[in-house]
Structure 1
Amino acid sequence: MSEENTENVNQTESEERATLVAARESSERIWEDINSGDVSRYRILTGDRPTGFLHIGHYFGTLKTRVELQNKGIDTAVLIADYQVITDRENIGNVREYVLNLVADYLAAGIDPTRSTIFCHSQVPAIHEMLVIFLSLVTEAELHRNPTVKAELEASKQSMSGLLLTYPVHQAADILCARANLVPVGRDQLPHLEQTRVVAKRFNKRYPERDAAGSKVKDSRGVLPMAQALLSSGGAIILGTDGQKMSKSRHNTVELKATADETAAIIKKAVTDSDRVITYDPVSRPEVANLLLIASLCTGEAPEVLAERIGDGGGGALKKLVTEALNDHLAPHRDRRAELMEDEGYLWSVLKEGNEKIADLGADTLRQMKHAMGMDYGL
């Protein structure tokens, strides 16, 4: 590696560390606000790509947190990012089925459509018009440097498409269209959010907010909000049944729609080790520790306590415990989910209402943007 390239890498790593430190400090302050009930100024955007069915990793990692934030009174928008399915794959599967099931799982988990807004970004025209504007604010080099784009490209094992390259800008359009100023993310997603902040900052600087007469608004913070990251306050990260990262594409998940018998069959095949004495050791025994963590999340008991109870019962006793705990814990969700899936008309109506709400909000934001740009011609 040349000296120049080494300097660039070091600079990038330094910038990423600084971004992470700032995000952690900001998140701590925001969590203090949330826990004290001071939430009126926050609007959250969160969501999923409909590339398959939600699994227990989503349930323990994000769904429960979304419900918690909603129940604390935060204005929450939940995005089903259906156009993002085509960013890195040719076979998009049955997107309609995946979208319907996402809505069912959201509602079954406790997302309340009277307090949160569920929407598909393919149904919000303003998002895609904003994307055109935002692409004028970033350089090709910046897009190529985004580490998440690099990771997505490597995972897809396909050529870089224009849509994949502009993926972070598309996400910026999602966030800013909904006028969200708070986005729950993991540390690996910080570069995406930083791209959103860059886009908003550049737009606000290039196109200052103007009043009805066309004059610049004094002391304006800009047309677009500056979104902040909300790093997890401890959401669980669980591995797949093969000991690797839980992922729909790896087929190592327990889907929320799975039956009790299907869950038992999946857990039975989960990787453990040859030591019959069960201990909670995430470093030396990650697969065993992962199963204990799942049982702990379901029962509320510490994984160390569960391990001691199993003792020398071996992997069979561990898997039996996990299966029973998981099926008991998910039973209410699955019952509610099955009930919801019996009324597809209701699920689509929830989505339709959410689409219309965000479409109106996005259209209003776009009007403000065009006014600042001098592109509102009154036609």
Structure 2
Amino acid sequence: MALHSMRKARECWNFIRALHQGPDAAPVPQKDAVKRIFSGIQPTGIPHLGNYLGAIESWVRLQDEHDSVLYSIVDLHSITVPQDPTILRQSILDMTAALLACGINPEKSILFQQSQVSEHTQLSWILTCMVRLPRLQHLHQWKTKTAKEKQSGTMGLLTYPVLQASDILLYKSTHVPVGEDQVQHMELVQDLAQSFNKKYGEFFPVPKCILRDVCDCNSPNSFRTCTPCIGR
């Protein structure tokens, strides 16, 4: 198991480095205009119906419609709240099995464990040094989770949107499937990409979020670019 994990981690590292080294490769024909999709899910054990309808069903469809799709089990995000290490390790395995059972196909998409790729936290630190504290404190999820006890929020909870940005930007993702509640965090991702590019030269694509049209969930074209992203 350890040897297999090391191999998978090495494959992810090589993939990341290949994205950032050498001249741009010749364009590869795509199934449509979306070039690279990234999304993550926390290892919360066996997914319930809401998880399936809200994310996993969309993941299955996206891997069938697009050529470059990456899905991550974002275990680093889960430790913003206390976790039992033994239970968390098992939850990662359970989530992996559940995603495969629900139709995530390693032949069509890349599925990996976030903490196995150290570049996620490395880029997160760089981006953290570029964002102002008030910007993070004004994110609605931070305000909601700390509304009752203002001193109870951890630095991990405050800065996890920056780690989320590093997850997305690390792979030069162009589109991210999100729920309505994550649009504000995506605006932070876009702003960080633009700030980095302005300071250091064009490097990261500015990713757009794509939302699921719940009123037309059976349509093959039931995804749309959210309004804030259209103008970016």
Q: After TM superposition, is the score higher than 0.5? A: yes
Q: Is the 8 A contact 1:184 1:230 kept in 2?
A: yes
Residue number in structure 1 paired with 2:14: none
Supply the AA of the counterpart residue of 1:175: I
1:132 CA drift (Å): 1.3
Give the direction of change, closer, same or farther, for the CA distance of 1:152–1:182 in structure 2 (3 Å limit).
farther
Tell which structure's C-alpha radius of gyration is larger.
1
Shifted more, 223-232 versus 65-74: the winner is: 65-74
Shifted more, 74-83 versus 164-173: the winner is: 74-83
Residue number in structure 2 paired with 1:228: 208
Residue number in structure 2 paired with 1:190: 183
Supply the AA of the counterpart residue of 1:224: F
Deviations 1:113-143, CA, capped at 9 Å, x for gaps: 0111111111111111111110121100101
State the secondary structure of the residue aligned to 1:164. Answer: helix
1:95 aligns with 2:75: no
Equivalent position to 2:132, from 126, 139, 148: 139
Report how many aligned residue pairs link the two structures. Answer: 189
Deviations 1:208-239, CA, capped at 9 Å, x for gaps: 1xxxxxxxxxxxxx1011110101122799xx
TM-score, length-normalised on structure 1? Answer: 0.46
Structure 2: distance between partners of 1:189 and 1:58: 15
Uncovered stretches (5+) of structure 2, i.e. residues with no partner: 1-29, 219-232
Give the direction of change, closer, same or farther, for the CA distance of 1:196–1:41 in structure 2 (3 Å limit).
same
Q: Percentage identity across aligned positions?
A: 33
Structure 2: distance between partners of 1:235 and 1:81: 29
Q: Is the 8 A contact 1:75 1:116 kept in 2?
A: yes
Give the direction of change, closer, same or farther, for the CA distance of 1:82–1:235 in structure 2 (3 Å limit).
farther
Q: Which has the higher helix share?
A: 1
Residue number in structure 2 paired with 1:180: 173
Residue number in structure 2 paired with 1:201: 194
Residue number in structure 1 paired with 2:108: 115
Deviations 1:254-290, CA, capped at 9 Å, x for gaps: xxxxxxxxxxxxxxxxxxxxxxxxxxxxxxxxxxxxx
- CA-based RMSD of the aligned residues comes to 2.5
Residue number in structure 2 paired with 1:161: 154
Residue number in structure 1 paired with 2:228: none
Deviations 1:131-184, CA, capped at 9 Å, x for gaps: 111012110010100112223445999711111111110100000112211111
Deviations 1:90-126, CA, capped at 9 Å, x for gaps: 5566111111111111111111101111111111111
Structure 2: distance between partners of 1:46 and 1:235: 22
State the secondary structure of the residue aligned to 2:99. Answer: helix
Equivalent position to 2:73, from 80, 85, 91: 80
Uncovered stretches (5+) of structure 1, i.e. residues with no partner: 1-36, 209-221, 238-296, 298-379
Structure 2: distance between partners of 1:130 and 1:154: 29
Structure 2: distance between partners of 1:94 and 1:120: 16
State the secondary structure of the residue aligned to 2:89. Answer: helix
Q: Is the 8 A contact 2:31 2:67 kept in 1?
A: no
Residue number in structure 1 paired with 2:40: 47
Supply the AA of the counterpart residue of 1:63: I
TM-score, length-normalised on structure 2? Answer: 0.74
Q: Is the 8 A contact 1:137 1:199 kept in 2?
A: yes
State the secondary structure of the residue aligned to 2:214. Answer: coil
